[in-house]
């Protein structure tokens, strides 16, 4: 299978670009032309004007973002269309509009500034773009949210409550000055006067990071007191606030890579990435914080469906193509461009 994929790559040459997220398995990563987080890969796709076909080994929202940023002639494909993102699925346009109405009744019409994590549907990015909002990544969230909080409006942060909470705390916003919106029941919770609410957090989360428990953290800390614990900011505040460091996937990779030989780490993020860090850094001692931290959707991409995708491209069959309608893409680009301008 690997050899067949390599043969197709050779035949297609620059017409084909294979992108793989850090959470993919080693066999997929080894076949990719570029590996990175979702934003880095979207930028690679945007910059490459030669490739006719861009195969995104990741999840649905990532392929959507690539389609938004590439030109109309380029075709973006996802080897497994069912490779979704549960967190991205926790926020849709209809529910966001309902939330906006609720918040404007509470905080004033025109007084809501939406900001979405890049791990969101295209329709949510478009929602933010129409309202003058923007997009963040786990790497640039502090800079972008600092701007948003300075605009004199109540910020609505979608869909990951944990990244929003952790970043706002780092920026000096008190926990008591954040509200939580329960999108399932259309309920809003806050403990301060409404005039004191700085940010409303959408009630979404990443199951890979959200369910790392306090018990697991304390057990690993006790068993390995001389290890440095680094976690992703999608972890709950209760975990992120105790860790020795927190940051994006690229941050975690660089912390390990740049550390001196003999360094000891416990990493709280997706298992495929941690396994690769262990493999690529044999001079360091690396443990995973929670062995259950595995993204099942990322693992839906495999050699079989990657090969099938490439074979179908050669046959002129694009049934795995990911398309974002033009108006949604136009509005989403406004939010993405705002992010690039701010960062």
Residue 335 inside a domain? The answer is no
Q: How far is CA 52 from CA 8, 74, 77, 251, 314, in A?
A: 14, 5, 11, 32, 12
d(CA 9, CA 32): 10
Residue 337 inside a domain? The answer is no
What integer is the mean pLDDT of 20-46?
93
pLDDT in tens, 53-99: 999 999 999 999 999 999 999 999 999 999 999 999 999 999 999 99
Mean pLDDT score across all residues of the chain: 96
Torsion angle of the four alpha carbons 252, 253, 258, 264, in this order, in degrees rounded to the nearest 10: 60
Q: Running DSSP on this structure, what letter comes out for residue 256?
A: H
User: Does position 110 have pLDDT exceeding 90, yes or no?
Assistant: yes
User: Does position 328 have pLDDT exceeding 90, yes or no?
Assistant: yes
User: Does position 38 have pLDDT exceeding 90, yes or no?
Assistant: no
User: Does position 15 have pLDDT exceeding 90, yes or no?
Assistant: yes
pLDDT in tens, 113-165: 999 999 999 999 999 999 999 999 999 999 999 999 999 999 999 999 999 99
Q: How far is CA 282 from CA 118, 286, 317, in A?
A: 32, 9, 43
> What global pTM score does this model have?
0.94
Joined together, the tokens standing for residue 333 give 């680009």
Give the domain-ending residue among 206, 224, 251.
Answer: 206
| Domain co-membership, 32 together with 97 | no
| Domain co-membership, 268 together with 310 | no
- Tally of domains in the chain: 3
User: Does position 42 have pLDDT exceeding 90, yes or no?
Assistant: no
Residue 341 inside a domain? The answer is no
The CATH number given to whatever domain includes residue 195 is 3.40.50.10800
Asked whether 322 and 63 are in contact (CB, 8 A), the reply is yes
What integer is the mean pLDDT of 168-187?
97
Residue 334 inside a domain? The answer is no
Give the pLDDT confidence score for residue 340 in this predicted structure. 86
d(CA 306, CA 317): 14
Residue 342 inside a domain? The answer is no
d(CA 112, CA 199): 9
Domain that holds residue 314: 2-83+298-324
Strands 75-77, 53-57: pairing is parallel
Residues with Cβ within 8 Å of residue 155, at least 6 apart in sequence: 112, 113, 114, 115, 145, 148, 149, 198, 199, 200
Which of 239, 238, 261, 235 has the alpha carbon at shortest distance from 249?
235
Give the pLDDT confidence score for residue 178 in this predicted structure. 98
| Domain co-membership, 97 together with 77 | no
Residue 7 inside a domain? The answer is yes
Residues with Cβ within 8 Å of residue 325, at least 6 apart in sequence: none
How much of the chain, in percent, has pLDDT values that exceed 90? 97
What integer is the mean pLDDT of 184-209?
96
What integer is the mean pLDDT of 25-32?
97
Give the pLDDT confidence score for residue 80 in this predicted structure. 97
Give the pLDDT confidence score for residue 343 in this predicted structure. 79
DSSP secondary structure of 196-221: G--EEEESB--HHHHT--HHHHHHHH
Residues with Cβ within 8 Å of residue 120, at least 6 apart in sequence: 61, 88, 91, 135, 158, 159
What integer is the mean pLDDT of 322-331?
97
Residue 333 inside a domain? The answer is no
Question: Nearest 5°: CA angle at 92, between 108 and 232?
Answer: 95
Residue 278 inside a domain? The answer is yes
| Domain co-membership, 150 together with 66 | no
| Domain co-membership, 166 together with 201 | yes
| Domain co-membership, 37 together with 67 | yes
| Domain co-membership, 131 together with 151 | yes
Residue carrying the six token digits 């304390």: 218
């Amino acid at each position: 299978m690997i050899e067949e994929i390599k043969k197709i790559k050779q035949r297609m040459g620059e017409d084909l670009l294979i992108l793989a997220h850090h959470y993919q398995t080693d066999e997929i990563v080894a076949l990719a032309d570029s590996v990175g987080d979702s934003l880095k890969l979207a930028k690679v796709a945007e910059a490459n004007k030669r490739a006719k076909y861009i195969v995104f080994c990741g999840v649905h929202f990532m392929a959507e973002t690539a389609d938004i940023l590439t030109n109309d002639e380029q075709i973006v494909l996802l080897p497994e269309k069912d490779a979704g993102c549960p967190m991205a699925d926790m926020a849709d346009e209809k529910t966001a509009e309902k939330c906006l109405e609720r918040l404007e009744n509470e905080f004033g019409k025109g007084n809501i500034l939406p900001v979405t994590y890049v791990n969101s549907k295209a329709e949510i990015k478009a929602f933010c773009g129409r309202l003058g909002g923007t997009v963040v990544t786990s790497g640039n969230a502090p800079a972008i949210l600092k701007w948003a909080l300075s605009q004199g409006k109540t910020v609505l942060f979608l869909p990951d409550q944990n990244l929003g909470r952790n970043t706002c705390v780092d920026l000096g916003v008190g926990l008591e000055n954040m509200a939580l919106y329960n999108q399932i029941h259309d309920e809003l919770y806050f403990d301060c006067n409404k005039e004191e609410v700085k940010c409303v957090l959408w009630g979404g989360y990443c199951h890979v990071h959200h369910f790392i428990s306090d018990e697991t953290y304390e057990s690993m800390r006790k068993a390995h007191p001389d290890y440095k614990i680094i976690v992703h900011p999608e972890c709950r505040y209760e975990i992120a606030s105790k860790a020795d460091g927190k940051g994006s996937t690229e941050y975690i990779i660089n912390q390990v890579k740049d550390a001196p030989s003999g360094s000891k780490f416990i990493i709280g993020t997706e298992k495929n990435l941690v396994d690769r860090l262990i493999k690529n850094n044999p001079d360091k001692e690396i443990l995973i914080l929670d062995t259950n931290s595995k993204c099942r959707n990322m693992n839906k991409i495999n050699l079989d469906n990657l090969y099938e995708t490439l074979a179908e491209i050669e046959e002129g069959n694009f049934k795995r193509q990911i398309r974002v309608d033009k108006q949604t893409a136009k509005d989403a680009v406004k939010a993405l461009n705002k992010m690039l301008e701010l960062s």
